C-alpha cells in the first residue's frame, strides 16, 4: 500500500509562513503552528539559527544543540518569542531529522520511483541515534522553560 508524502500536494498559497516576510519586523504575522512548520522559511531567524544546525555525528550534534539552545535563551532574554520558537523548532528538527537518518538509509523514507512506497526501516546510520538523543534532550529542555511556555501560551491565544 502506498501512502504518498504530504509534501507532494503542498499548497504554498495556503501556507501561513511566507519567505518574503521579515518576521522580526512583523512578528504579528508569525504563527506557532504544529511541530516544525515554518522553520525553513521564517527570516531572519532561518539564517541566524540554520547556520548552526548540524547532526552528522554525536559530537557535531552536541555542539550544534548547545549553540542553538544558547540562541533560544538569547531570544528569550530579548523578549523575542518568534526567535525563541524558531530555535525550539530547530532543536526539534535536529531530533526528527537525525531519527529519519537513523531509521532510513540516506534519510529517504519513500521510494519516488516506486509509487512512493515506504522504504524499509532500520537501514540507516546508527550514529544518528546518538545525535537524535542529544537534540531531543535540548528540545525538551527548551519546551520546559517556564518563560518560553508562558510566552507560547499567550502567543497562541492572541495570534495563533
Would residue 42 count as lying in a domain?
A: yes
Domain that residue 110 falls in: 15-158
Here the cell at position 41 is 522559511
> Is the CB of residue 68 less than 8 Å from the CB of residue 52?
yes
> What's the total number of domains in the chain?
1
Would residue 64 count as lying in a domain?
A: yes
Q: How far is CA 105 from CA 109, 113, 123, in A?
A: 8, 16, 5
Would residue 10 count as lying in a domain?
A: no
Here the cell at position 42 is 521564517
pLDDT tens string, the chain, 160 residues long: the values are 456 666 667 777 778 889 999 999 999 999 999 889 999 999 999 999 999 999 999 999 999 999 999 999 999 999 999 999 999 999 999 999 999 888 888 777 887 888 888 877 777 788 899 999 999 999 999 999 999 999 999 999 998 8
Would residue 6 count as lying in a domain?
A: no
Here the cell at position 91 is 532543536
Q: What are phi and psi of 92, to 5 degrees?
A: -65, -45
Structure confidence at residue 124 (pLDDT): 72
Would residue 4 count as lying in a domain?
A: no
Would residue 3 count as lying in a domain?
A: no
Would residue 139 count as lying in a domain?
A: yes
Would residue 1 count as lying in a domain?
A: no
Mapped onto helix, strand or coil, the DSSP state of residue 34 is coil
pTM attached to this predicted model: 0.88
Amino acid at each position: 500500500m502506498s501512502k504518498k508524502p504530504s509534501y507532494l500536494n503542498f499548497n504554498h498559497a495556503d501556507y501561513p509562513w511566507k519567505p518574503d516576510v521579515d518576521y522580526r519586523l512583523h512578528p504579528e504575522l508569525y504563527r506557532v503552528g504544529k511541530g516544525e512548520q515554518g522553520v525553513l522559511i521564517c527570516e531572519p531567524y532561518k539564517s541566524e539559527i540554520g547556520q548552526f544546525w548540524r547532526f552528522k555525528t554525536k559530537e557535531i550534534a552536541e555542539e550544534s544543540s548547545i549553540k542553538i539552545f544558547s540562541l533560544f535563551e538569547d531570544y528569550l532574554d530579548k523578549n523575542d518569542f518568534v526567535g525563541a520558537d524558531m530555535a525550539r523548532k530547530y532543536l526539534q528538527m535536529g531530533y526528527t531529522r537525525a531519527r529519519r537518518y537513523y531509521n532510513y538509509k540516506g534519510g529517504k523514507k519513500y521510494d519516488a520511483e516506486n509509487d512512493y512506497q515506504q522504504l524499509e526501516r532500520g537501514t540507516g546510520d546508527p550514529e544518528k541515534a546518538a545525535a537524535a538523543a542529544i537534540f531531543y534532550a535540548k528540545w525538551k529542555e527548551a519546551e520546559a522553560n517556564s518563560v518560553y511556555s508562558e510566552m507560547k501560551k499567550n502567543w497562541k491565544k492572541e495570534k495563533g
